[in-house]
Structure 1
Amino acid sequence: MLKTIILFVLLSVVFDGSYGKFVYREDIGGWIKVFKVVANYSEASAQCRDREAVLASPITEELILELKTIIAAQKHPTSYLLGTMARDSPNSFVSEEGVALEDMPEMDFMDKLNPDYGRCLAMSKDRVHVVPCSSKLPYICYVKRAACNLDYTYLSESRKCYKFYITPATWSDASNVCKAEGAHLVVINDRSEMNALWSFTGYQSFFVGLSQTGGGNWMSVTGQPVEDLYNLWYYGYKPSDDALFCGSIESSQKLFKADCNTAMSFMCESSINYIDRKVIFHEKKLKSD
């Protein structure tokens, strides 16, 4: 027998059915979400507003390139609805941000805009053209928002946010500072992330989110054994003392066991500032005898 169970799940990144998720694009300094399920202008605009975004328009050179790249990459060539509409008069096309069409970058692939065909714009991989606002088309939501909260810095190598504190603190105090900002002491996953962080800190030693538990086991503040993370130690081997120690990165870019009560610079890590942070419904059908 099939039973339908509705689960309420709090997610930091929403995978919204076939719509996918918002993705941060460093070159446009904002977030993009592709909606492949078709909608008319009013419906598409409302979907974007519900996510604190706007229906994307070609208002900058970077956005034009981003939109063209996304549309050209689709398996089935089709036009995508834009957030540019002739609201006040047949020829006064304006984006949802309030940018008039004449103030947008010049697009040599734009058709001659005939308002007799409609008051909305759509974009394919090689043209921008007029469509009726009732046209059902896929669309793209866009929001210009920083990747990181507070004064954290986004690093593209790891797609995470970091904040380096040069003022020394004990490991416990450092951990509390990070937690107060909704973050945690940095957990380094691999050599690529280590290299990026080393440059970011200005080549200085710092506490990381590792500590030694009973039995000599090293665990991260996110619950991973050190063997699953960046695991290059200062003396070439992982210390396994029974005493409690905390992890740090030394001048050789290697892990080192440090006295947890020693004051040292430290780094906090936070996930990128995802859009669509909300409670959603997941419907699952589970088989039972």
Structure 2
Amino acid sequence: MLENIKPSLTDGYKRSLIDSPSWTITYGVTEALIKKFNIKTMAEVGVCRGHHSAHLLEAMPDLNVYSVDPWGYFADEYENMYNYHTLADDEKIYQKARLLLEPFGKRSTILRLTSRRAASLIKEQLDMVYLDADHSYEGYKDDLNVWWRKVRDGGIFSGRDYGHPQHPGVARAIDEFLANSKGLKFNLEAGRVWWLIKPRGAESAVNEQNFKLKPPLARRLKRKIKRFFIIAPIKIKFLIKKIPGAKSAYQIFKKTAKKIWP
């Protein structure tokens, strides 16, 4: 466990960026990790509203953060669990996150991409990677394999929600990751934040062939169709006033969308 994580760092830790007591603990633990290991470059995979990235950038002026999130895709179990967050909200959430991170200038790099695509574009080895994206078993284990390769030797690999009763896939994926690894010391902190140090010369911890890299085709098509009928009306409404007859066409489109996705 981290020796320098003390109650004073997490208890009563209040900033305007924090909107959840559980996140208050998480932010304090992550900040302590970064300070302890002198982290300069990191990626946060799974950003949502941007509060965590903003907190870390505000607290540590020498830190550079890649904030990775597609803002447009959630695993089915995530959609069902957080039913207040729909695909129609993604653009608004992204814009709020962008505005929140904008003041940090070049120290903040937003990558509105899928996890795999973002990892392929980041060429440098990172001091730290923090996983808080797809919490399904398949999604989390894929992120473990993909982002493990982006952590430099001696760097920190971390995330949250290990052992969370609503996210059993996280612990399952991590346990398999550790079982296929050698010489990794797993640490679990307050707020269900986990972390480990990547040994020098470490082999890829998980066999790529053991991963389901993509959901079944039918499931992917269903998501794309669902996204189209939810997002398209948002974009179309901005064109209604400019195109003759667009209003009536828009109403027909909305009725069709409701029949397919009530």
Q: TM-score, normalised by structure 2?
A: 0.29
Structure with greater contact order relative to length (CA < 8 Å, sep ≥ 6):
1
Q: Rg: which structure is higher?
A: 1
Q: Higher strand share goes to which structure?
A: 1
Q: TM-score, normalised by structure 1?
A: 0.27
